[in-house]
Amino acid sequence: MNRRTVLGLAAGTVALPALSARGQPLDRPLRIVVPFAPGGTSDILARILAPDLTRAFGQGVVVENRTGAGGNIGADLVAKSPPDGHTLLLIDVSTLATAPSLYTRLPFDLKRDLAPVTMLIYAPYILAVHPSVPVRNAAELVAYAKANPQRVNVGHAGIGVGNHLTGLLVTQHWGADLTQVPYRGGAAALTAVAAGEAQMIINGATATAPFCRQGTLRPIAVTGPARLPDFPDVPTFAELGWPAAQSGTWQGVLAQGGTPPAMVNRLATDIRAAMALPATAERIAALGAVNKVEGPDSFRTWLDAEIEVWAAVVRANNIRLD
């Protein structure tokens, strides 16, 4: 999905209705920090939500892309921002959950310095290949990968992020030796695979499905509980007996860790209302995502559990970053 399409989606949202728990207008603009490049899932969501949140808060909402270090540069910016709820982080939180075990010197304490506001969506991963790869289905891909060690480059959003770790688990299950190639976010990885610079990708359906519909990429398998409506012939990881069958992109919003609970709850309430708007809900569904809006407590419970799950994968693969 290109930037013009993303901005068009955001511009098409409808007016936000009155909110029962709505407070007074904010006293200055709200900043949503997206720690990845434009065109990825987090960026798409932020730009879809920005117009509705502008109306909810009575102030402008600015989307700011701060890339680098697997999302940690943007996360650290929010962690060190004033604790007033005016600077938010919109991120693939499954990627954020890998940070404590992955980095030897993380510049922020995830549990102390960032306050979960609400989960937004779950979107399954699509495993796709460039059309030049001579395979049409999962069995052919596995056979090709095993017969051509290190000749299949797998583009991903950065070392230790969710789609990288999922790719490691899957290719280890195959018994194949593929070359993992990190990029600065999922959008850059998609561009590289679509151009044939790399041959395979595992990435969120929200951003990847348009490439598959256009024929720029060939979908082979999807994570999640069911096949995607747009690709009914593409099997799930679970059907294939592959690991990490329920992995995917879990997008959520966090604020600075010291933000007052009343402000966190207000943000959660207004974001929930924006996500429930029919026009917004339709756009999100069309992007292959499922609404997973929950309150701060449920989000914190989910995040704590994911930190433990991915720590085990990071340790098993001996992955450490400075």
Residue pLDDT tens, the chain, 322 long = 443 333 343 334 334 443 334 456 678 899 999 998 898 889 999 999 999 999 888 889 999 999 988 789 999 999 999 999 999 999 999 888 999 999 988 999 999 999 999 999 999 999 999 999 999 999 999 999 999 999 999 999 888 888 999 999 999 999 999 999 999 888 899 999 999 999 999 999 988 999 999 999 999 999 999 999 899 999 999 999 999 999 998 999 999 999 999 999 999 999 999 999 999 999 888 777 899 998 999 999 999 999 998 999 999 999 988 7
Backbone angles phi, psi at 305, to 5 degrees: -65, -40
Fold match flag (3-122+249-316 vs 124-240) = yes
pLDDT (tens digit per residue) in 37-93? 898 889 999 999 999 999 888 889 999 999 988 789 999 999 999 999 999 999 999
Q: Which helix (H) or strand (E) holds 218?
A: strand 218-222
> Residue 198 has what DSSP assignment?
S
Q: What is the predicted pLDDT for the residue at 284?
A: 87
Q: Do residues 234 and 219 lie in contact, with contact meaning Cβ atoms separated by under 8 Å?
A: yes
For the chain, the residue count is: 322
Domain boundary assignment for the chain:
3-122+249-316, 124-240
Quick one: tokens of 29? 């603009």
Which residue shows structure tokens 């069309």? 286
- Write down the CATH number for the domain with range 124-240: 3.40.190.10
- C-alpha closest to that of 209 among 284, 277, 145: 284
d(CA 32, CA 205): 22
d(CA 124, CA 306): 16
Q: What is the predicted pLDDT for the residue at 12?
A: 40
Q: Find how far residue 135's CA is from the centre of its chain.
A: 27
d(CA 263, CA 259): 7
d(CA 133, CA 152): 9
Residue type, 153: N
| Residues 6 or more apart whose Cβ sits within 8 Å of residue 253 | 32, 88, 89, 90, 117, 118, 120, 267, 271
d(CA 292, CA 251): 9
pLDDT (tens digit per residue) in 202-216? 999 988 999 999 999
d(CA 311, CA 99): 9
Q: What is the predicted pLDDT for the residue at 51?
A: 94
Domain 3-122+249-316, classified CATH 3.40.190.150, yes or no:
yes
